[in-house]
């Protein structure tokens, strides 16, 4: 049992050490100053107590006490002054640490080439927690991290002071307090585990309340009358969580009371021993003042340590998650070759794929090729693997087997950065950046206004009041506005076009457009130029007429790839899909 406790304490201290390492990395000088001030602050109570004892002894012996009085005044003054200074320094360190942590999280994300991390639920949950808490965890870490160190030093100092007069009593008190601390710690640990369970539940609770309060879901929540059911779900989960937490609290109260009784008994015995020493004139009366102060300080530091360590614990686990995220290594390594956009053919050979952390293969032995300048429509039923294929072609996932190559260049050997610089895409679930219209089009690249306006014209999105290039596309920000689904899609298409790439992927970004607008836009992309290669996913079979070739996917397999008319003649399931849509649009 005790081994487990020591293991936990060891892990705790390791995490505390790592936390201090992060403090130093974030702000070396400020942390150093804080670390230097901490022992001074921690040992001041010792000086005050001893000065008080000596003062009383000198007074009763009718000797000069001025020196001890001055010492006591200085120590008391510093005891009051230092916390103000330390709070100030902690504030500066908190700001620096918050910036440091947030920037390092963003920098790490920048280094992630594939989407693998986002499919790993353990990492993804951690990442969500990391980004949600990054604004307040650093304060917690600094305030509690410094307090733990300070209280531990005071505690050690006080035990040493007591040991100077009665070593046995100091050891006895220590032996009562040690198991008390460990049990306290264990209880806090249990409380924390409940808190973690609670934190999982808390996220669910948050979601339920946001579901009924946020704009995003306001329409469907009303129409489908979801209020009562969601409130009921919230209530059930809330009370269930409360019950578990209360059970831990009750246990905590009982055990804490038992140990408190033991500590009071030992302290009283100690007090009695010191009274006897004073009666026998072995020690001066001042020792009683010292003893009372030492016991009060030991108990206070002890309580503080247990409370602060448990308050600090989840923040330390947060640091662990932070380190864990920074250490995340992708299974695929990036290539080194520069992408030559002047390729003659894109060749996909025996391509199979299983998503990371999944066992189901979603693409099986896909084969097709695209010549430079060709327009390929990728069609197939829902879930047939069209978007997955596009993600693989974009190097967002490494293939499980098989190859994608541009002439002789294998995609896996290309540097992701060089590849992404020369391709462009509009996704089905494209990003709605809460930035200005201009920034949404340029993806924060600096482009002349005239170019942005021309792009918007290309995708037929007129700049009519109140929409300007500087308008923020979100009501969350002052002066912001919201676009319609179709307008948003045009913004995504303008973003896709701004790259002027020779290799374009469209993963059905046009679902919210009417058939005419969609046809016009596809035509626009098709007419971009003879050396522009276009691969577009579409559900509207009318769009396949614009393509040179159609890649027909079924259950993750490439059933056929060829001109639309050829597929109609040779591939019955393709003909069936086409006829079905034709009838629907009649
Ligand atoms: N991140 C993921 N992890 C595991 N499986 C996934 C993931 N994303 C998609 N899948 C699975 O891969 C299969 C193919 O999905 P994909 O989105 O590629 O199909 P699609 O043809 O584009 O469908 P739709 O026409 O509905 O857009 C589906 O069975 C889907 O459940």
pLDDT tens digits, 156-179: 999 999 999 999 999 999 888 887
**What was the pLDDT predicted at 365?**
95
Q: Ligand 1 in contact with 385 (CB < 6 A)?
A: yes
CA-to-CA distance for 145 and 13, rounded, in angstroms?
11
Residue bearing the bigger pLDDT, 503 or 6: 503
Residue 234 region, left (φ>0) first, then alpha (ψ -120 to 50), else beta?
alpha
Nearest CA to ligand 1 atom 28: 383
Reading the block at residue 443, the tokens are 């993806």
Closest ligand 1 atom, residue 508 Cα: 27
**What was the pLDDT predicted at 2?**
42
Q: How far apart are the first and last CA of the chain?
A: 75
Nearest CA to ligand 1 atom 9: 388
Average pLDDT over every residue of 340-357: 92
pLDDT tens digits, 464-506: 877 889 999 888 788 888 888 888 989 999 999 998 899 999 9
**What was the pLDDT predicted at 515?**
73
pLDDT tens digits, 103-141: 998 999 888 888 888 877 777 777 877 887 887 888 888
Cα 355 to middle of ligand 1, angstroms? 9
Nearest CA to ligand 1 atom 2: 355
Whose CA is closest to 399, among 432, 367, 351?
A: 351
Q: Ligand 1 in contact with 119 (CB < 6 A)?
A: yes
**Tokens 């600090």, located at residue:** 312
- Proportion of the chain above pLDDT 70, given as a percent: 95
Closest ligand 1 atom, residue 388 Cα: 18
Q: With cut-offs at 50, 70 and 90, classify the pLDDT of residue 1.
A: very low
**DSSP letter string over 80-114?**
HHHHHHHHHHHHHHHHHHHHHHHHHHHHHHHH--S
- 402, 415 Cβ separation under 8 angstroms: no
**What was the pLDDT predicted at 189?**
63
Whether 345 shows a pLDDT value over 90: the answer reads: yes
Nearest CA to ligand 1 atom 17: 387
Q: Ligand 1 in contact with 387 (CB < 6 A)?
A: yes
Burial 366-404 (b: 16+ CB within 10 A, else e): bebebebebbbbbbbeeebbbbbbbbbbbbbbbbeebeb
Q: What share of the chain is helix, strand, coil (3-state, %, to 5)?
A: 65, 10, 25
Whether 585 shows a pLDDT value over 70: the answer reads: no
Reading the block at residue 517, the tokens are 């607008």
Average pLDDT of the residues of the chain: 87
CA–centroid distance for 175 within its chain: 41
Q: Is the reported ipTM for this assembly greater than 0.90?
A: yes
Which of 69-78, 430-439, 540-549 has the least mean pLDDT? 540-549
- 443, 421 Cβ separation under 8 angstroms: no
Q: Bridge-partner residues for 263, per DSSP? A: none
Q: With cut-offs at 50, 70 and 90, classify the pLDDT of residue 32.
A: very high
């Amino acid at each position: 049992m005790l081994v487990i406790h020591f293991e936990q304490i060891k892990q705790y201290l390791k995490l505390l050490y790592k936390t201090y390492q992060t403090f130093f990395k974030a702000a070396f000088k400020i942390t150093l100053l804080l670390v230097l001030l901490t022992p001074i602050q921690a040992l001041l109570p010792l000086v005050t107590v001893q000065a008080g004892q000596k003062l009383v002894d000198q007074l009763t012996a009718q000797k000069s006490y001025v020196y001890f009085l001055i010492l006591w005044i200085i120590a008391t003054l510093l005891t009051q002054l230092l916390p103000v200074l330390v709070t100030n320094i902690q504030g500066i360190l908190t700001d620096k640490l918050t910036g440091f942590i947030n920037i390092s999280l963003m920098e790490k994300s920048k280094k992630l080439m594939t989407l693998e991390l986002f499919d790993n639920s353990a990492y993804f949950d951690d990442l969500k927690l990391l980004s949600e808490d990054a604004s307040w965890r650093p304060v917690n870490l600094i305030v509690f991290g410094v307090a733990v160190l300070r209280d531990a030093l005071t505690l050690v100092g006080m035990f040493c002071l007591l040991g100077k007069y009665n070593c046995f009593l100091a050891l006895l008190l220590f032996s009562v307090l040690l198991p008390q601390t460990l049990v306290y710690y264990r209880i806090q640990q249990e409380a924390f585990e409940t808190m973690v369970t609670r934190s999982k539940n808390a996220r669910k609770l948050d979601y339920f309340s946001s579901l009924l309060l946020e704009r995003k879901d306001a329409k469907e929540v009303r129409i489908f009358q979801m209020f009562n059911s969601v409130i009921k779900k919230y209530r059930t989960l809330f009370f269930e969580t409360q019950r578990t937490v209360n059970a831990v609290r009750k246990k905590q109260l009982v055990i804490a009371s038992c140990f408190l009784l033991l500590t009071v008994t030992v302290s009283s015995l100690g007090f009695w021993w010191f009274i006897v020493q004073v009666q026998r004139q072995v020690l001066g009366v001042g020792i009683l003042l010292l003893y009372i102060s030492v016991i009060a300080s030991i108990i206070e530091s002890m309580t503080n340590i247990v409370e602060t360590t448990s308050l600090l614990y989840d923040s330390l686990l947060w640091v662990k998650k932070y380190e864990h995220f920074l250490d995340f290594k992708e299974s695929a390594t990036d290539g080194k070759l520069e992408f030559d956009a002047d390729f003659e053919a894109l060749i996909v050979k025996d391509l199979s794929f299983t998503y990371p952390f999944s066992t189901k293969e979603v693409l099986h032995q896909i084969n097709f090729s695209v010549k430079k300048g060709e327009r390929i429509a990728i069609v197939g039923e829902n879930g047939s693997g069209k978007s997955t294929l596009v993600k693989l072609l974009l190097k967002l996932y490494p293939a499980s087997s098989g190859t994608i190559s541009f002439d002789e260049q294998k995609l896996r050997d290309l540097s992701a950065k060089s590849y992404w610089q020369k391709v462009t895409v509009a996704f089905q679930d494209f990003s709605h950046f809460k930035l200005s219209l201009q920034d949404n089009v340029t993806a924060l690249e600096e482009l002349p206004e005239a170019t942005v306006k021309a792009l918007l014209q290309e995708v037929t999105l007129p700049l009519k009041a109140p929409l300007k290039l500087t308008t923020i596309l979100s009501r969350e920000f002052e002066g912001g506005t919201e676009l319609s689904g179709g307008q948003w899609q045009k913004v995504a298409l303008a973003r896709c076009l701004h790259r002027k790439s020779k290799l374009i992927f469209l993963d059905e970004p046009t679902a919210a457009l009417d058939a005419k607008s969609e046809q016009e836009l596809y035509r626009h992309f098709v007419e971009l130029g003879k050396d522009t290669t276009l691969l577009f996913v579409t559900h509207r079979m009318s769009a396949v007429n614009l393509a040179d070739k159609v890649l027909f996917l079924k259950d993750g397999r490439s059933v056929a790839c060829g001109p639309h008319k050829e597929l109609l003649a040779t591939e019955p399931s393709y003909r069936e899909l086409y006829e079905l849509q034709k009838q629907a649009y009649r």
